[in-house]
Amino acid sequence: MTLDTVDNLRAVEAILNYLVPTTERPRTYTYEPPAGTPQTTAVSTAHKIPIRDARAIAHEVTLDQQGFALVRHHSAVRDFYDDEEVKRVYYPEAEQLLKDSTGAERVFIFDHTTRRRVPGAGDRRGGLRQPVNRVHVDHTAKSGPQRVRDLLASDAQDLLKGRVQVINVWRPIKGPLLDAPLAVCDAQSVAPEDLVPSDLIYPHRVGETYSVTYRPSHQWFYFRNMDIDEALLLKCYDSKTDGRARFAPHSAFTDPETPLDAPPRESIELRSLVFHPA
């Protein structure tokens, strides 16, 4: 994927919210924090950025080069809001999709989130998950391996000897998706110092994610009008440190071309541990 090719892609100008640089480690509560404690200490700043439609180069974009990839995938799930059906039907489908797409030996799906944009509603209020309008990466160099230890304790020592990835499978529940699409940053355009370890505080554990500070050289992409038979593979961690993509920042954004009568975004993402032999 050359710079000339990227510059010729169709683009929209949209706002992405980055972390304001800080000397304090950002922390965010996933539940109502103790009295007098802010929900988050992360402060965001808005940047207007060209976000390019990568459909014309979808065949060139790969998990190892850019940190994301678009795949065709039909699911037999009838109701993505039925957690039991998702686990029974979609988890095995996604496991096979990831094996086919990456050549992995083993895949472990560890959770999923459905999101529905409800104007004016808060994220996590009443169980509702809204699109995340903040540039972030779900895992870090520390939390990626830790999830293996947390979830697969008896096998973790052996699994961590090989290559480990954390890959999300993101797709629209209804399509074509016109509202609040997902933007993904080319991981090769991100410097290590742009990634800021941040605490995500749950009732019984503290996770670590990356907040992201702005750099003008970041290259942002989306796939316009994604349909229900398409899925976006998104790399959130890779143990390989040989120059391939390891962390792909992403964020929902408001597309200025979204029709006023477009239905609000509905989507689902699975999070998975992907293992390759040593």
Eight-class DSSP state of 54? G
**pLDDT at residue 204 above 60?**
yes
> What pLDDT is attached to residue 125?
67
* pLDDT band at 1; cut points 50, 70, 90: low
Q: Span 153-174, mean pLDDT? A: 97
> What pLDDT is attached to residue 119?
86
**pLDDT at residue 99 above 80?**
yes
Q: What percent of the chain has pLDDT over 90?
A: 91
Residues 6 or more apart in contact with residue 105 via CB below 8 angstroms: 99, 162, 275, 276, 277
Q: What percent of the chain has pLDDT over 70?
A: 97
Residues in a beta bridge with 45: 18
Q: Is the dihedral of CA 60, 115, 134, 150 positive or negative?
A: negative
What does 173-202 look like in DSSP terms, one character per residue?
SSSS--SSPEEEE-GGG--GGGEEEEEEE-
Say which residue, 79 or 120, is predicted with more confidence. 79
pLDDT tens profile 224-252: 999 999 999 999 999 999 999 999 999 99
> What pLDDT is attached to residue 17?
98
Q: Span 183-198, mean pLDDT? A: 98
Q: Span 165-189, mean pLDDT? A: 97
Asked if 263 and 103 touch (Cβ cutoff 8 Å), the reply is: no
Asked if 92 and 270 touch (Cβ cutoff 8 Å), the reply is: no
> What pLDDT is attached to residue 4?
61
pLDDT tens profile 59-82: 999 999 999 999 999 999 999 999
pLDDT tens profile 23-55: 999 999 998 999 999 999 999 999 999 999 999
Ordered by where they begin, the domains of the chain are: 3-276 (2.60.120)
Is this model's pTM higher than 0.75 or not?
yes
